[in-house]
């Protein structure tokens, strides 16, 4: 049972335009969400995160939006650059008082930004 789903395996956008990557989750206990970026032959790299008490978090060209009622989050990259071409993973955790940090990952979306 996939608790975190990225339904689009790939996305292609033109340089300078907006990239929107989507993620859905089923577990209402998740209270922290993260996005990771992964280049070939490297490990995933943390990009941006959001707590469930917020609906938006912005860091430079990257913004994550959270819609708790829809159990949906999205990552916006604007403007997109060719160097953004990578696999993007959505991840979620139940932090709570235990704060174990266990992450559940989505399947990933491959983003290609064309020059």
Partner 1 sequence: DAGVIQSPRHEVTEMGQEVTLRCKPISGHNSLFWYRQTMMRGLELLIYFNNNVPIDDSGMPEDRFSAKMPNASFSTLKIQPSEPRDSAVYFCASSTTSSSGSQHFGDGTRLSIL
Per CB under 8 A, residues contacting partner 1 are 32, 34, 36, 41-46, 49, 89, 93, 95, 99-108
C-beta of 14: minimal distance to partner 1 in Å?
28
Place of tokens 């174990």: 100
- Interacting residues of 43 by C-beta distance below 8 A, sequence separation 6+: none
Which C-beta is closer to partner 1: that of 56 or that of 102?
102
Which C-beta is closer to partner 1: that of 16 or that of 46?
46
C-beta of 16: minimal distance to partner 1 in Å?
28
* Burial (CB count within 10 angstroms: exposed 0-12, middle 13-18, buried 19+), residue 96: exposed
What is the C-alpha to C-alpha distance for residues 106 and 115, in angstroms, rounded to an integer?
27
C-beta of 46: minimal distance to partner 1 in Å?
4
């Amino acid at each position: 049972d996939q608790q975190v789903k990225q339904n689009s395996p790939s996305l292609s956008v033109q340089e300078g335009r907006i990239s929107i990557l989507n993620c859905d989750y089923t577990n209402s206990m998740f209270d922290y969400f993260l996005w990771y970026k992964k280049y070939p032959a490297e490990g995933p790299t943390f990009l941006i995160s959001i707590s469930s008490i917020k609906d938006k978090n912005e860091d430079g060209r990257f913004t994550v939006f959270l819609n708790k009622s829809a159990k949906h989050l999205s990552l916006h990259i604007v403007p997109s650059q060719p160097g953004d071409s990578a696999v993007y993973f959505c991840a979620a955790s139940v932090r709570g008082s235990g704060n174990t940090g266990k992450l559940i990952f989505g399947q990933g979306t491959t983003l290609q930004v064309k020059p």
